[in-house]
């Protein structure tokens, strides 16, 4: 073989080998690119899912916050009207107590009887100045004995405060105490609704 033929043959084999290497490199490059595309797609999907989960969580938190805020506003309005109703009731009670309305006189008698039943033995009754004569009349009408109507007047809208003679038992059955008890109960219920989960 001639040297030129030999060189041509070596060049041809080198070219074939180079083409095989280039083809293999292309295949590997395409595989690497394809794998990279798949990984990039997986990463995008994972990121998309993570973003979607985060958005769903934010949506859930926002909805819960909006619901709580709505509930709070409804309760504020209810509480406002409840306070208005209690204030109106207090105003009506004061008016009835001042005028000696028949309903008030019946209520005064019930308050007195209830208070006396809660104190053992002899009792001292405290009333405001306006109700002194009214209570004297009720005591006479009921024939109640072993009680003293105090000369000391108390600052209450109406009703009575009864104390055992020794001072160990006191039963405040004034209109003020009754209204305050109702307000406390309503306040307690409101706190339970707001913070107790009802």
Average pLDDT, integer, range 98-115: 93
- Gap between the Cα atoms of 165 and 124, Å rounded: 6
Could you tell me the two tokens for 151?
């000369």
122 with 71, same domain?
A: no
86 with 14, same domain?
A: yes
111 with 150, same domain?
A: yes
Name the H helices within the chain: 3-99, 102-117, 132-142, 175-196
65 with 84, same domain?
A: yes
Query: pTM above 0.95?
Result: no
- Whether 198 shows a pLDDT value over 60: the answer reads no
3 with 85, same domain?
A: yes
- Whether 197 shows a pLDDT value over 60: the answer reads no
Question: pLDDT value at position 89?
Answer: 84
Q: Which domain holds residue 143?
A: 100-196
94 with 105, same domain?
A: no
Identify which has the larger pLDDT, 118 or 2.
Answer: 118
- Gap between the Cα atoms of 82 and 73, Å rounded: 14
- Gap between the Cα atoms of 177 and 158, Å rounded: 10
Q: Compute the C-alpha angle 52/54/57, nearest 5°.
A: 110
62 with 123, same domain?
A: no
Helices 102-117, 3-99: crossing angle, 10 deg rounding:
100
Strand order in the sheet with 147-149: 147-149, 123-126, 159-164, 170-174
Helix (H, G, I), strand (E, B) or coil at 135: helix
Q: Read off the DSSP letter of residue 90.
A: H
118: domain CATH number is: 3.30.2320.30
């Amino acid at each position: 073989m001639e040297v030129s033929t030999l060189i041509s043959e070596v060049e041809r084999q080198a070219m074939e080998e180079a083409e095989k290497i280039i083809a293999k490199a292309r295949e590997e490059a395409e595989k690497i690119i394809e794998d990279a595309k798949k990984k990039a797609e997986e990463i995008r999907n994972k990121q998309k899912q993570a973003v979607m989960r985060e958005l769903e969580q934010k949506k859930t938190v926002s909805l819960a916050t909006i619901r709580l805020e709505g509930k709070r506003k409804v309760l504020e309005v209810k509480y406002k009207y409840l306070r208005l109703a209690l204030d109106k009731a207090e105003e009506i009670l004061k008016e009835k107590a001042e005028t000696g309305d028949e309903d008030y006189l019946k209520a005064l008698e019930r308050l007195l009887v209830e208070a006396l039943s809660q104190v053992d033995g002899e009792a001292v009754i405290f009333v405001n100045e306006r109700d002194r004569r009214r209570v004297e009349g009720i005591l006479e009408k009921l024939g109640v004995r072993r009680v003293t109507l105090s000369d000391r007047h108390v600052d209450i809208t109406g009703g009575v405060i009864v104390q055992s003679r020794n001072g160990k038992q006191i039963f405040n059955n004034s209109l003020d105490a009754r209204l305050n008890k109702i307000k406390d109960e309503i306040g307690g219920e409101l706190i339970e609704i707001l913070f107790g989960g009802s």
